[in-house]
């Protein structure tokens, strides 16, 4: 009885020792050399693994940062400039400061502005709906309202408003990772500079139809009338395919186009309420 137990213990111990030696030898032989800095850079990362930087996750991004000598093309939208500065100082390189961005929904086709013409009862997904037909309103460019952007957001920053049927972005939570931009089959959402004091001006429409057709489908559509282009002192507005687009790098937030727009397609965000009969404040840099 005792000999059996002793024999078992001894034989298993010898076997264990033998295997440990083999494992150690193999581990030494096939050791993967990895830059220890990758671990450190990864520790600086926010760890959201959202993929907004274009890499597969935070570790892949850290690896990319360590391998490249030029950090100007690398940017972590979640951590922003602060994180990038930390990474740069750790690696001992320079990094240019980037304007913070935010997701902007360029459709104002609420149920009142853009009446529904038919009823969609298929699977509730914008991608599926867009593959079937142009949408349940007269505008074939506008928001489909099934909430693919909401599902794609990892930061709970974009939500469908049940009243308007349109998504709304929470500026505080939005990290500009671009997941919603990719999720939207109609390409309505755009990443734009957050602007000074979070003030922004943008065209809240992407309808490329001729003015009459666009206006018939939606009360607040851009009709491509070129009024805003003429009034803009900074040449920030371009018009192509009956649609105005404001270049956020050129726009100085003077708000002249907002008052000029006959349909109200140009939106201003986070500006103080206008005081009537007083000359308009021009916000400069």
Partner 1 sequence: MSKTFSLGGIHPNDNKISANAAIEEFPLVDTAFVALNQHLGAPAEPVVAKGDKVLAGQLIAKASGFISANIHSPVSGTVSAVEFLPDMAGNAVQHVVISVEGDEWLPSIDRSPVIVKDIKLSSEEIIAKIAEMGIVGLGGAAFPTHIKLSPPPGKKAEFLIVNGAECEPYLTSDYRIMIEMPEQILIGVKLMMKALKVDKAYVGIEENKPVAIKKMKEIAAASYPEIKIVSLKKRYPQGGEKQLIDAIIKRRVPSMGLPIDVGAVVQNVGTALAVYEAVQKNKPLVDGIVTVTGSCMKEQRNFRLRVGTTFDKIMFAIGGFPKDAVKLISGGPMMGKAVSRTEASSTKSTSALLLLTEEETKRGEESNCIRCAKCVDACPMGLEPYLLNRLSRQGKTAELEENMVQDCIECGCCLYSCPANIPLLDTIRYSKAQVIRIMRSRPKK
The nearest distance, CB 269 to partner 1, in angstroms, is 31
Nearer to partner 1, 38 or 134 (CB): 134
Please report how close the Cβ of residue 211 comes to partner 1 at its closest, in angstroms. Answer: 15
**Least Cβ distance, residue 57 to partner 1 (angstroms):** 17
Find how far residue 151's CA is from the centre of its chain.
13
Q: Which is nearer to partner 1, 186 or 194 (CB)?
A: 186
Which is closer to partner 1, CB of 21 or CB of 132?
132
Is 225 an interacting residue with respect to partner 1 (CB under 8 A)? no
Q: Which contacts qualify for 151-159: CB closer than 8 Å, 24 or more apart? A: 151/183, 152/179, 152/180, 152/182, 152/183, 153/179, 153/180, 154/48, 154/50, 154/179, 155/48, 155/50, 155/78, 157/103, 158/103, 158/105
CA angle 58, 63, 65 (to 5 degrees): 95
Q: Which is nearer to partner 1, 23 or 117 (CB)?
A: 117
183-205 b/e (C-beta count within 10 Å ≥ 16 → b): bbbbebbbbbbbbeeeebbbbbb
Closer residue to partner 1 in complex, CB, 135/178: 135
Residue 127 C-beta: closest distance to partner 1, Å:
6
- Using the minimum distance from each CB to partner 1, give the nearer residue, 119 or 278: 119
Residue 44 CB neighbour total at 10 angstroms: 20
Nearest CB to partner 1, comparing residues 133 and 234: 133
Residue whose structure tokens are 């140009």? 266
CB of 98 to partner 1, least distance (A): 30
**CA dist., res. 227 & res. 235, Å (int):** 12
Are the C-beta atoms of residues 236 and 196 closer than 8 Å to each other? no
Q: Smallest distance from the beta carbon of 80 to partner 1, in angstroms?
A: 28
Tell me how far, at minimum, the Cβ of 134 lies from partner 1, in Å.
3
Contact characters 103-142, partner 1, x per CB under 8 A = --------------xx--xxx-x-xx--xxxxxx---x--
Judge contact between 164 and 106, C-beta under 8 A: no
Question: Which residues of this chain interact with partner 1, rule CB under 8 A?
Answer: 117-118, 121-123, 125, 127-128, 131-136, 140
């Amino acid at each position: 009885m005792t000999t059996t137990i002793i024999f078992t213990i001894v034989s298993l111990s010898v076997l264990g020792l033998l295997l440990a030696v083999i494992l150690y030898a193999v581990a030494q032989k096939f050791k993967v050399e990895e830059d220890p800095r990758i671990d450190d850079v990864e520790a600086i990362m926010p760890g959201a693994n959202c993929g907004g930087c274009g890499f597969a996750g935070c570790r892949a991004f850290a690896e990319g940062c360590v391998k490249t000598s030029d950090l100007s093309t690398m940017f972590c939208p979640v951590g922003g400039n602060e994180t990038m500065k930390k990474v740069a100082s750790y690696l001992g390189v320079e990094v240019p400061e980037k304007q913070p961005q935010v997701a902007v929904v360029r459709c104002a086709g609420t149920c009142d502005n853009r009446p529904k013409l038919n009823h969609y009862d298929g699977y509730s997904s914008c991608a599926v709906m867009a593959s079937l037909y142009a949408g349940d309103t007269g505008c074939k460019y506008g928001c489909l309202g099934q909430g693919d952007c909401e599902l794609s957001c990892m930061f709970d920053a974009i939500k469908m408003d049940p009243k308007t049927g349109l998504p709304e972005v929470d500026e505080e939570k939005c990290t500009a990772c671009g997941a919603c931009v990719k999720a939207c089959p109609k390409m309505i959402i755009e990443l734009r500079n957050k602007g000074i004091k979070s003030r922004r001006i943008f065209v809240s429409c992407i309808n490329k139809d001729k003015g009459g057709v666009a206006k018939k489908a939606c009360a607040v559509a851009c009709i491509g009338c070129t009024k805003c282009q003429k009034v803009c002192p900074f040449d920030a507005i371009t018009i192509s395919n009956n649609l105005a687009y404001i270049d956020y790098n050129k726009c100085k937030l003077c708000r002249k186009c907002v008052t000029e727009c006959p349909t109200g397609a140009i939106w201003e965000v986070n500006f103080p309420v206008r005081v009537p009969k007083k000359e308009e404040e021009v916000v400069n840099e």
